[in-house]
Amino acid sequence: MRRSSGPRWHYAWEGAPEPRAFLCWRSTQLKRVLSKFGVPGHRLLSFESMSGVKCFHAGGKAKHWIDDGLASGTLRSRTTPLLSATPLLPYVRFRRPKFEALRLRRRALQAAGYYRLVD
């Protein structure tokens, strides 16, 4: 049986969300060091630019900081909803040179003792 050569279906999730509208909190090296030196989690969240963010994803221990941020005033609830459509961006391949550069940075941080500090 032959496969149909009809149109390929495109689904809403076939692309990457616009990062300015859909922010996923990342625990970068700087944020890990600041956390290790006692900076409260809700202060780390306040470093994010959330002016045009429609959806904020905080995973791991960061999800527990949202209530603290709202209570302390470092995070505020939005009073006006953002209703404009947000386009999906095409996926960008993670190329080998970037992968190798990230591995090299990780090895350098490991040699410097960074992972013993933050773990």
Q: Which pLDDT value is given to residue 14? A: 66
pLDDT of residue 86: 84
pLDDT score recorded for residue 100: 93
d(CA 22, CA 85): 12
Note the pLDDT tens digit of each residue in 91-109: 777 789 998 998 999 899 8
| Paired tokens of 102 | 């990230």
pLDDT of residue 108: 92
| Residue 1: pLDDT over 50 | no
